[in-house]
Structure 1
Amino acid sequence: MASAERPSFKRRRISSSATDMQSTIQQPGSIKINVAGAYIIDHEVEDSSHGSNTSSPTGSQEGEEQSYQHHNRDIRLPNHTSIVSHVAADIGGSLAKVVYFSRENGNPESGGRLNFLSFETDKIDDCIEYLRHLQSKYQQANGATKAAELMVMATGGGAFKFYDRIKERLGVDVVREDEMECLIMGLDFFITEIPTEVFTYNDADPDNAVEYQEPREEVYPYLLVNIGSGVSMIKVSGPSQYQRIGGTSLGGGTLWGLLSLLTGARNFDDMLAMADKGENSAVDLLVGDIYGEGMGYEKIGLSERTIASSFGKVLKRKREAERSAEDGGDLSNGDASHSPEQPAAPADDKAVNLVGGGRMFKPEDISRSLLYAISNNIGQIAYLQSEKHNLQRIYFGGSFIRGHQQTIHTLSFAIKFWSKGAKQAYFLRHEGYLGAVGAFIKRRPPNWGRRGSVELVDV
């Protein structure tokens, strides 16, 4: 049996010094990431104490509009001193995520940090231009002879769609990596290597709703629910052992698309901000609306605030408005223009309740209702997949989440509700960068990290 074999021809040696790290580079640019002492930077503290942001290579002036969003959670790597000769990009249907390493204060002995940026995929040319600035900075720091070794590790659908454009404009090698494999490698890296990266959420204790998890070695099996434009659900049984077991087309792209039609919001962050201010009970039909005020259906675990039907009040209120108009009242359902001189409906008029701009429903209420509908749907499907495949740990990733409290609450609640508290939802502080980080760390010898940081050396 394989377990009885004794590898007598090898012995173990732990590599920790910068000299050892440099000697193990197997090819130009391939490097081990020294995660010893790694931590996530608190940018509010950093900005107030240093007054600068070291992550932007463009030299843009304060107030200048930027086409990218800097994810304000850089990962500090104080003990990584070796040269990093690549950047990584995960180019999806809605967003392009970029991960790169930068020196701390330009001093190799001070270590460095991983930086995280995102661009709308529609602005891919801005993303490529940003990579050009990184290429220029790299050349300045490491000399012209090293510039040719800079590589772009790319994953996601855009790695194929924009391959020729990136390679032509940058004049560098572009290595395309499998999307699912990168997602898993990125998630494994975060789970096993980065303190306070993974967390759970429980708003039963508002003062301690977020509980951070320590890096762990035993992680398999688990379910990854990756929520981007659509949703993929992946069963992970071990390193490089994974299977896509399901998903849904109702994901971030659905929320973004519908809210852009219904509210006029211009970007995803505006939609989330509106949802924070909304009240879904103005749009959703709740259990309490069916059983009466203050009543629920406790026998089957449904409180009065449980959503019985997403957007369930809309048709009823529109019909009431139509009947009011037939009786001589005002009709405005948001489909027709509304004169600003037209007086607003009385506050006690239950048939017609305009909220401005000719709208019957507030954009904030619509945003919150649709956010709940999409998130609850994803959470329930994730639970069913975890039951079918006997998976206890469920990790949620993808740019849909964005650290948004209501989204996290809804997904967490859905898992607890359907599992009757037997299962737990896990979230990440870099949830949108799993694929990009996976592509980044692909540029190193395999099986390295906290679980594989002991090298096997021939005697």
Structure 2
Amino acid sequence: MGTSKSRGSVRIGVDVGSSLTKLAFRGGSGAVRYELLGRGAYDQVVETVQKLQPQVLGLTGGGAAQLASRLDGRAVQVNEFTAWGTGANHLLSRRQKTDTYLLVSLGTGTSVMLVDHQDVRRLGGTALGGGTILGLGAALLQQSSFADTCALAAQGSRDSVDLLVRDIYSDPDRPLQGDLTAASFGRMARQDNSPPREDMAAAIMRLVGENVTLIAGGHARHLGLDRLVFGGSTLRNNPALQAVLTEVSSLLGLKAYFLTNGEFAGALGALASAPETEVTP
């Protein structure tokens, strides 16, 4: 798993999620590299720590306590939302940089956080997220691969699955924009034939992306903020979901930004937030 480095010169941050384990490494040169592992990759992380003997070892995420117990007190646990805010601040490009913004973390579920300089506060969230996409992909598409569901969605259109406002109001003087969603998956009960799998996948992304943005956008409007910053492993190689988030943000009068390497924000924040530790074999 990691490459050999000077012992003690490496800093490691680990975000132990319910679906994936994300690692950030910073060497003596200051360069950062990332590694993505599957769920419950405790043995691999412990092996890497023993090999590299990091100067800093920060853990965050739902599985941080369990991993820490395997490391005999050699790691520092960092609050998940603090880690995410700190990591996002590091990942924001110069063009995206701002002191105060809403950070939307799309993991298994979704959290919405207010980042105000170095202060990070969770405002709310939703159970909709990557876990929803994975579960509905398995239930509706017999598709167990998250990546394959994302690829299908990129080729489909939700119009044959969702009921739109124009399907209810045929009058051009309808009270709402015609291509807005009236009911997610609402067409399914009105047609005899099942829609293409690609369209079903696209509708899953629309269900998640639209509702996540509406929830985050409500917080933004309440606080007088004009931008949403998105990150998280659910966005990895998922252009269909990114397109939905961008479109709905625009409809709400908000700007959508996407963190490069945003799935590693928590790991990077854990690395940056943890104090130096003495890690011994």
Structure 2 counterparts to residues 175-254 of structure 1, below 5 A: 175-191=76-92, 198=93, 214=95, 216=97, 219-239=98-118, 241-254=119-132
- Structure 1 unmatched runs, 5+: 1-55, 60-80, 103-107, 139-146, 192-197, 199-212, 322-352, 354-359, 446-459
Aligned mate of 2:44, from 129, 141, 144: 129
Structure 1 partner of 2:215:
381
Question: In the alignment, is the contact (CA less than 8 A) between 1:150 and 1:173 conserved in 2?
Answer: no
Structure 2 partner of 1:269:
147
Please list the CA deviations of residues 202-243 of structure 1 after superposition, one character each: whole Å capped at 9, or x if unmatched: xxxxxxxxxxx5364xx222111111111111112221x232
Question: In the alignment, is the contact (CA less than 8 A) between 2:23 and 2:36 conserved in 1?
Answer: yes
Aligned mate of 1:152, from 57, 60, 66: 57
**Residue 85 of structure 1 pairs with residue 10 of structure 2:** yes
**Residue 314 of structure 1 pairs with residue 188 of structure 2:** yes
Structure 2 partner of 1:364:
198
Q: CA deviation at 1:387?
A: 1.3
Structure 2 partner of 1:390:
224
| Aligned equivalents of 1:246, 1:285: Cα separation in 2 | 28
| Aligned equivalents of 1:412, 1:297: Cα separation in 2 | 26
Cα 1:150–1:243 shift into 2, 3 Å = closer
Structure 2 partner of 1:52:
none
Matched residue of 2:185: which SS? Answer: coil
Quick check: which has more Rg, 1 or 2? 1
Matched residue of 2:102: which SS? Answer: strand
Structure 2 partner of 1:283:
161
Cα 1:82–1:441 shift into 2, 3 Å = farther
Question: In the alignment, is the contact (CA less than 8 A) between 2:78 and 2:274 conserved in 1?
Answer: no
| Aligned equivalents of 1:245, 1:370: Cα separation in 2 | 25
TM normalised by structure 1 equals 0.55
Please list the CA deviations of residues 297-337 of structure 1 after superposition, one character each: whole Å capped at 9, or x if unmatched: 5764x14x4332211111122xxx4xxxxxxxxxxxxxxxx
Structure 1 partner of 2:68:
163
Question: In the alignment, is the contact (CA less than 8 A) between 1:57 and 1:134 conserved in 2?
Answer: no
| Aligned equivalents of 1:432, 1:101: Cα separation in 2 | 16
Question: In the alignment, is the contact (CA less than 8 A) between 2:57 and 2:274 conserved in 1?
Answer: no
Cα 1:297–1:287 shift into 2, 3 Å = farther
TM normalised by structure 2 equals 0.86
| Aligned equivalents of 2:249, 2:96: Cα separation in 1 | 22
Amino acid in structure 1 at the alignment position of 2:44? E
Cα 1:296–1:415 shift into 2, 3 Å = farther
| Aligned equivalents of 1:58, 1:84: Cα separation in 2 | 13
Structure 2 partner of 1:411:
245
- The alignment yields a C-alpha RMSD, in angstroms, of 2.8
Aligned mate of 1:425, from 250, 256, 280: 256
- Structure 2 unmatched runs, 5+: 277-281
Structure 2 counterparts to residues 70-81 of structure 1, below 5 A: none
Cα 1:178–1:442 shift into 2, 3 Å = same
Please list the CA deviations of residues 390-439 of structure 1 after superposition, one character each: whole Å capped at 9, or x if unmatched: 222221111111152221221121121123xxx21111111111110001
**Identity in percent:** 28
Amino acid in structure 1 at the alignment position of 2:180? T
Structure having greater relative contact order (Cα 8 Å, sep ≥ 6): 2
| Aligned equivalents of 1:275, 1:215: Cα separation in 2 | 28
Size of the aligned set, in residue pairs, is 275
Structure 2 partner of 1:258:
136
Question: In the alignment, is the contact (CA less than 8 A) between 1:58 and 1:130 conserved in 2?
Answer: no
